Structure 1
Amino acid sequence: MSDALVPPTALPVAPQGVRASGWYGLVFLIATEAALFVYLLFSYFLLASQAPGPWPPSGAPPILSAAINTAILLASSLTAWWGQRGIERGSSPRLVAGLVLSLILGTAFVAVQVHDWMHKPFSPRTDAYGSLFYTITGVHIAHVAVGLFMLACLTLWAALGRFSAKRHLHVTVGVLYWHFVDAVWLVVFTTFFLTPRLG
């Protein structure tokens, strides 16, 4: 019996290509998570339409801090994209810099959000509005925490030289998730801070 010949080239250790299985897996995950936010926001607008008095009961929440926080999160998405574009061109230092900036900005977003939670004139037990506000923003913060963990892992792997212009699917998937987190916040921000001002 003859021995099988093994080619001398190294076998791939990670999936390659823009549309590998990990990319499709994340797309389906995003679809299910987006459905969760649709259900939560539907509950908000349903209760708002049936509220006997003003909605929100305590008036429209202050917008300045939330607007600044929105800008912070959008900036973090931009830096993540900038880093991703760097590794697509073979620049690991640019990827590390972009991910570190995104981590810092994402952490700042969480800190501002927690500070705002502690100074609201209502709590989750005050009324239906308070319950929905803390539930929806809390679920979003949970997604941000997952995203920050992913960015931290990507930063470590990038610093160890795990990615290249040819092999960086993990970066593509992680940054796509971070963009999703940012997009959800835009909807949450519009719901809680803009629509009450539109009557």
Structure 2
Amino acid sequence: MDAQSRDAMLPHRIVLNARGLPAYAYGPRSPIWWGTVGFAAAEGMGFALAGGMYFYLVFINGSWPLSAPPPDLLWSSIFTIVLLISVWPNQRAKRDGEREDLAGSRRNLVIMSLLGVALLGIRVFEFGTLHVRWDQNAYGSVVWLLLGLHTLHLLTDLGDTIVLTVLMFTRHGHGKRFSDVGDNAFYWYFVVASWLPIYVILYWFPRWW
């Protein structure tokens, strides 16, 4: 008789019954949270590389910006203010998700979805005030690259927020979906934090230079 057959004949003893343990968790206890951290780190490096390209072009050129006035401040400043305001309902969504408060999670997810759509609309106007085309020169290319990268992240989180909002109004709005609310809120913090240095670089640095 081989070892495998002999082990199969031995009585089994339950060491730990994991049936009662939760199937999801919040914050660093969740694998999805760590995946979001890794994604934000990778995307943050992309922003850092694009910013390095910007300052390299500043270094090798005598005047800056090239053949264009600095971008207008109106729409970019409105965008920044609305983005900072969104931190409050985002934090409330995270809190209500951790409390598994369905009504509160629904309310704040709807607010975040509306704010995301509003920010996307403001961003459309913002692109129209750059005073340079993406293919006009190196300055135009790097400005559109930085703004385009952030817009892509805004779209990504907005899509995730809308899908999650819809799910919370269905029979799926329970259990792990509350953990997803917290992970979605965490990524929104990255969207906010990544925009602030880009705002300074694109809109204020050319005026100081």
TM over 0.5: yes
- Does residue 83 in structure 1 map to residue 57 in structure 2? no
Q: Deviations over 1:72-118 (max 9, x none)?
A: 11222321111221232342111111111111111111111112223
1:84-103 correspondence to structure 2 within 5 Å = 84-103=94-113
Deviations 1:108-161 (A, max 9, x none): 111111122234421011111111111111111111111011111221232236
1:16 equivalent to 2:25? Answer yes
Q: Could you tell me which of 14, 31, 34 is aligned with 2:44?
A: 34
* Residue-pair matches, total: 196
Paired position in structure 2 for 1:191: 201
Deviates more, 1:113-122 or 1:185-194: 113-122
Aligned match for 2:152, one of 124, 142, 151: 142
Q: Based on CA coordinates, which of the two structures has the bigger radius of gyration?
A: 2
Q: Which residue of 2 aligns with 1:130?
A: 140
Counterpart among 153, 157, 161 of residue 151 in structure 1:
161
Are residues 167 and 139 of structure 1, via their aligned partners in 2, closer, same or farther at CA, if it must alter by over 3 Å? closer
Match of 1:162 among 163, 173, 193: 173
Q: Percent identity?
A: 26
TM-score (norm 1): 0.86
For the aligned residue pairs, the C-alpha RMSD in angstroms reads 2.5
User: In the alignment, residue 169 of structure 1 is paired with which amino acid?
Assistant: S
Q: After the TM superposition, which residues 44-123 of structure 1 pair with which residues of structure 2 at under 5 Å, given as runs?
A: 44-123=54-133
Q: 1:186: how far off?
A: 0.9
Q: Is the 8 A contact 1:60 1:193 kept in 2?
A: yes
Unaligned runs of 5+ in 2: 1-8
TM-score by length of 2: 0.83
Q: Distance in 1 between matches of 2:51 and 2:33?
A: 27
Instruction: Report the Cα distance in structure 2 between the residues aligned to 1:34 and 1:62, rounded to whole angstroms.
Output: 25
Unaligned runs of 5+ in 1: none
Task: Encode CA deviations 1:160-189: one digit per residue, 9 max, x unaligned.
Answer: 36246x973211211111110111111110
Distance between the aligned counterparts of 1:75 and 1:32, measured in 2? 26
Decide whether the 8 Å contact of 2:90 with 2:108 is kept in 1: yes
Contact 1:87–1:163 under 8 Å retained in 2: no
Mapped to 2, the partners of 1:113 and 1:11 lie a distance apart of: 44
Structure-2 separation of matches of 1:73 and 1:66: 10
